Amino acid sequence: MREVKEGLSGAGVEVRTPLDIGYVAGGSADVFEADLRAIRECDTLVAILDGHDAGTMCEIGYARALGKRVVGIWTDKERRLDPFVRWLCDEVVTSLEELRKKV
């Protein structure tokens, strides 16, 4: 997440991550609401698809329901990317360089 943030920030993109809004293991209602607010305020949700994190999958679904653009980054070729997750994304890229060009 930090690598993606640094790569996009270096390209002049404003980036907010769950870590920026106070994410901690186990979560809290405040962090959950701040995460949803950040998704409502964003233009594009960038989702790191490696690992199939349940929270990320929920964020993708929420963003799609709001009509937000979703760009996934998937670099873990050892794992299959679930087709449903792929179809929820407007685009899926396989490198940080490709992501910079898309956002």
Amino acid 41: pLDDT = 94
Amino acid 88: pLDDT = 93
* pTM for this model (two decimals): 0.87
In whole angstroms, what is the distance from residue 63 CA to residue 79 CA? 24
Amino acid 58: pLDDT = 93
What is the arithmetic mean of pLDDT over 10-17? 84
- pLDDT, one tens digit per residue, over 32-77 is 888 899 999 999 999 999 987 888 999 999 999 999 999 999 998 8
Query: Could you tell me which of 82, 47, 83, 81 has the C-alpha nearest to residue 64?
Result: 47
Amino acid 37: pLDDT = 92
The dihedrals phi and psi of 3, each to the nearest 5 degrees, come to -65, -45
